[in-house]
Structure 1
């Protein structure tokens, strides 16, 4: 199989005009029932994304092709299950390996529609769950909406690293970039694995241990950021090389969601609503996370006084480290994710946290894209928010677990916060575009 992949990569490198079709087809096959279990789709996707990052395709094209291919694979798998129902067990491949179907079926029956979100990132389950959804007559509209959301995150997670690697290989990056980048990636990967394992095992000390682990990583970053210049400069140069006018407008809109005024109004609104509903422990979590993160961010900015990247035509006045947008966004959305997961099984709690991190991550990435922050700034902001959110939750649950919020609370909190976020983000957009004017790289 390795020889076959090497041959395919060689052929695609000689025929780059077929790369788009290869990405679409590889994504489709990786998400197609049974077939996705038989081919090394993850390795193949990374390999073709590296080739595309070498200059053959832009990032948005790679992500769009992978997204469309993954959706097609989901749709075909769902149609297969809907067509054959229980007779699907007699199809070739599944007759010889009934455990493939049984494992996915048990997972779907236990977690329902949420399994399509979380199972998307679990190799043996990814190609089987859409077929199970069709076999068990899940309504098509619900399946399609969840699949569209899941495929978006999956395309970014599986194709962005490969494309970024290919793009980095063609740029003249500072010496030491790969070493420092590898250390940061390994540390964040270990932190994520530790948090997931502690949560899945229902360890009583899972929350405080995760908070301590985040604090340890944050401390290491605070001490070591002067030695991350190669990583920061290299990754910033890589991101600046893919800028375009259309993406600039989208990123300015996203970054507005993390502005101080936006996060302040949303934080106050959330606290007021929790107080009106008399959800005092949830209110304490929100205050501890949001206020603690804001104070911690201001203290660290004043302490380190790090200068921002020299990208904007009119540089912003405040200091860069850590990113206020990143810390505020992660604090707000992590707080919502934690509250949504109360009273849920471990996998559902992790799913809510994963969904909560998506908008916060986009806001953090927009700061690097716009050249306002160094990459280590936004990582530090995320770790700061995670530390204080975990510490606040651990303190509140020291004697008894926090109860789940009633459904009526979410029917009030979510629409109000989303409406406020959208309204403020789109207010005076032309002025925001002028604020983030930059000097294009030669």
Structure 2
């Protein structure tokens, strides 16, 4: 990235007391209008997260600082747009690069509030959309609520990988960890990159090819999981090092969202609502994804009787591969993401998928944090759900593309599903806390 980047990294490494402030400022600049386009904030955030994970800051301190910095950048950008309105086009930078505003303005006018959620994960749009929201007089409270939600997903996606890398470099991990971690990372990266390219280029067989790629990756994981012992134990050690009583309660609450009963109720509700709204093709796709994932998961668990990590005093069950929580959560949220992205441009469709799999990823990570699954268990669960979901979508649109759901359908589906998820998790939390007793 240049000598200045190396100088910043070296200086922060020598002066770790300033690292927290650096994370706050970099996150703020990354979300600040105009500046966020000019500064390579994504690379800087990864670098400082690696330094934080080396023992300077805990994961939750790192996430909190990044979250607050991102929120401040959003608020400053919104205030800038609210203050200058259309005159903002005359500011230095925007005067000579009007295209920076045009794309963000069209995106906001087309998708409104949703653009702030999805645009958070699209580099050129992220710093500009809050300013556009202010310029077009979006109500301040609505902007704050959406920004707070979007910043939470964004900071997890952008800081956790770097922090985990720094923590892994710090701890005395088992021999062979880095080689196995490299194989897993490269394999999953290839599947993701190829699938994204197929989707962005609108290839006719993009969905069945994606299903095939995920199935091949899943097969490789099934055949190679005995060789991933160092990877599983090392990554579990990294995550277990961040344990705390307060965080345990949060993770138990999160993991309840992936319980069989919770996912069963949510799946039945979603399918029932689609049938009630007479969205029959969406119903067939969703039912195929949820039911197919559950059946395949049960079959594979019977074939691979893998012992769980030795963390709980009373293990919940012998079978852990693949993770039922991970597969169920990814199946449910991938179904929502695909339905939300129907009839929209590829980039927006992919943004919907990214946004919806964040809660599924958090549920999967909670299983590793709680010590009831190995990392390869949750990876297998995610790949299983992705395989069945892509296969179900291919069958549902065998003759013609799956149509988009009407807006009124989402005003019924989303509140109902969110209310059910939150209600079940809160209601069963006291009993769940008693279930996870540690060594």
Q: Which TM bucket (shorter chain)?
A: over 0.9
Question: What pairs up with 1:318-357 in 2 under 5 angstroms?
Answer: 318-357=318-357
Whether the 8 Å CA contact 1:232–1:376 is kept in 2: the answer is: yes
Cα deviation code 1:72-95 (max 9, x no counterpart): 111111211222223223222333
Equivalence for 2:386: 386
- TM-score, scaled relative to structure 2: 0.94
Whether the 8 Å CA contact 2:121–2:351 is kept in 1: the answer is: no
Question: What pairs up with 1:295-314 in 2 under 5 angstroms?
Answer: 295-314=295-314
Give the distance between the partners of 1:294 and 1:341, measured in 2 at CA: 24
**2:77 maps to 1:81:** no
Cα deviation code 1:279-312 (max 9, x no counterpart): 3222222221111111100111111111111111
Equivalence for 2:10: 10
How far apart are residue 64 of structure 1 and its match? 0.7
- After superposing the two structures, state which structure 1 stretch, 306-315 or 274-283, moved more: 274-283
- After superposing the two structures, state which structure 1 stretch, 57-66 or 93-102, moved more: 93-102
Give the distance between the partners of 2:208 and 2:159, measured in 1 at CA: 33
Equivalence for 1:176: 176
Give the distance between the partners of 1:41 and 1:273, measured in 2 at CA: 42
Equivalence for 2:91: 91
Number of equivalenced pairs? 439
Whether the 8 Å CA contact 1:211–1:390 is kept in 2: the answer is: yes
List alignment gaps of at least 5 residues for structure 2.
Answer: none
How far apart are residue 109 of structure 1 and its match? 4.1
Give the distance between the partners of 1:361 and 1:164, measured in 2 at CA: 15
Whether the 8 Å CA contact 2:339–2:405 is kept in 1: the answer is: yes
**2:406 maps to 1:411:** no
Equivalence for 1:50: 50
Q: Structure 1's 396 and 362: CA in aligned 2 closer, same or farther, altered over 3 A?
A: same
How far apart are residue 246 of structure 1 and its match? 0.6
List alignment gaps of at least 5 residues for structure 1.
Answer: none
Give the distance between the partners of 1:280 and 1:90, measured in 2 at CA: 51
**2:283 maps to 1:289:** no
Q: Structure 1's 376 and 390: CA in aligned 2 closer, same or farther, altered over 3 A?
A: same
- TM-score, scaled relative to structure 1: 0.93
Question: What pairs up with 1:343-382 in 2 under 5 angstroms?
Answer: 343-382=343-382
Give the distance between the partners of 1:103 and 1:133, measured in 2 at CA: 13
How far apart are residue 276 of structure 1 and its match? 3.4
Give the distance between the partners of 2:288 and 2:200, measured in 1 at CA: 25
Whether the 8 Å CA contact 2:239–2:369 is kept in 1: the answer is: yes
Indicate the SS of the match to 1:427. helix
How far apart are residue 19 of structure 1 and its match? 1.5
Equivalence for 1:35: 35
Give the distance between the partners of 1:77 and 1:411, measured in 2 at CA: 29
Whether the 8 Å CA contact 2:118–2:355 is kept in 1: the answer is: no
Give the distance between the partners of 1:261 and 1:111, measured in 2 at CA: 35
How far apart are residue 218 of structure 1 and its match? 1.0
Equivalence for 2:230: 230
Q: Structure 1's 129 and 400: CA in aligned 2 closer, same or farther, altered over 3 A?
A: same
Give the distance between the partners of 1:61 and 1:88, measured in 2 at CA: 35
Equivalence for 1:131: 131
- After superposing the two structures, state which structure 1 stretch, 402-411 or 211-220, moved more: 402-411
Equivalence for 1:239: 239
Indicate the SS of the match to 2:159. helix
Indicate the SS of the match to 2:204. coil
Q: Structure 1's 413 and 57: CA in aligned 2 closer, same or farther, altered over 3 A?
A: same
Indicate the SS of the match to 1:85. helix
Equivalence for 1:140: 140
Q: Structure 1's 314 and 305: CA in aligned 2 closer, same or farther, altered over 3 A?
A: same
Give the distance between the partners of 2:212 and 2:185, measured in 1 at CA: 19
Q: Structure 1's 191 and 109: CA in aligned 2 closer, same or farther, altered over 3 A?
A: farther
Question: What pairs up with 1:243-262 in 2 under 5 angstroms?
Answer: 243-262=243-262
Give the distance between the partners of 1:183 and 1:431, measured in 2 at CA: 39
Indicate the SS of the match to 2:123. coil
Give the distance between the partners of 1:431 and 1:110, measured in 2 at CA: 45
Cα deviation code 1:340-399 (max 9, x no counterpart): 223333333223322221211111110000000011110110111111111111101011
Whether the 8 Å CA contact 1:114–1:351 is kept in 2: the answer is: no
How far apart are residue 421 of structure 1 and its match? 2.0
Whether the 8 Å CA contact 2:330–2:357 is kept in 1: the answer is: yes
- After superposing the two structures, state which structure 1 stretch, 99-108 or 9-18, moved more: 99-108
Equivalence for 2:69: 69
Give the distance between the partners of 2:115 and 2:274, measured in 1 at CA: 29
- After superposing the two structures, state which structure 1 stretch, 14-23 or 269-278, moved more: 269-278
What's the RMSD between the two structures over aligned residues?
A: 2.0
Cα deviation code 1:192-224 (max 9, x no counterpart): 233333333333322212111211211111111
